[in-house]
Amino acid sequence: MSPLRAQKKILRQEFLAKRAAVPHDRRDQISHELIKKFLSTEIYREAKVIMAYASTPDELQLNELFAACFADKKILAIPYIVGKGKMQAVEVPSFDALEVGAFNILTVKRKLRNFIKPAQIDCVIVPGAAFDLNGGRLGLGGGYYDRFLPLAINAKKIALAYDFQLVDNLPTEKHDAKIDMVFTFR
């Protein structure tokens, strides 16, 4: 492992430990405030197709964003893993279309899967361990978003993050996909 990758691994572990230590009631409050902030943006209002992620217990919770997309008649997509380091966007027509899938993460039921081309997506809510002021992102280590985001050529890449996840600078490599904006709650 290169020194840069070793440094990224250590940082990832540190940020994920901090994220896991956030009490769930505080996580839910911050999730609500960040989603409210995002929903008030022109990016959200103008987007027709939004891709988000199905939250794990330690991540900011996005169910309120899902509900807003359904209410506002936007097309909502989440990742669908198709191979090592590869994912596609699958449409989520409603909460009822979701079931628990691999790694205990919600996915769209097989018979309801409708895939969306990355170029059709207007906005991607991107998960991560940490983000920096230059659009750098420290992902979760699988490279899924680093491979997918360059294909989403028309999408604004947005992160919703805890304050501690936004730092001045992160170590990045040329294959690391950048994001456009980070929303934090202060």
Global pTM value = 0.95
On the question of pLDDT at 166 being above 90, the answer is yes
The reported pLDDT for the residue numbered 101 is 85
d(CA 124, CA 49): 9
> Do residues 154 and 119 lie in contact, with contact meaning Cβ atoms separated by under 8 Å?
yes
Distances (CA, A) of 11 to 65, 95, 132, 156, 172: 28, 34, 13, 26, 12
Residues whose CB is less than 8 angstroms from the CB of residue 51 and which lie 6 or more positions away in sequence, other chains included:
76, 77, 78, 79, 89, 116, 121, 123, 124, 125, 152, 155
The CATH T-level fold of domain 3-184 is Rossmann fold (3.40.50)
Q: What is the dihedral of CA 100, 105, 108, 110, to 10 degrees?
A: -60
The reported pLDDT for the residue numbered 167 is 96
On the question of pLDDT at 98 being above 80, the answer is yes
On the question of pLDDT at 105 being above 90, the answer is no
The reported pLDDT for the residue numbered 152 is 98
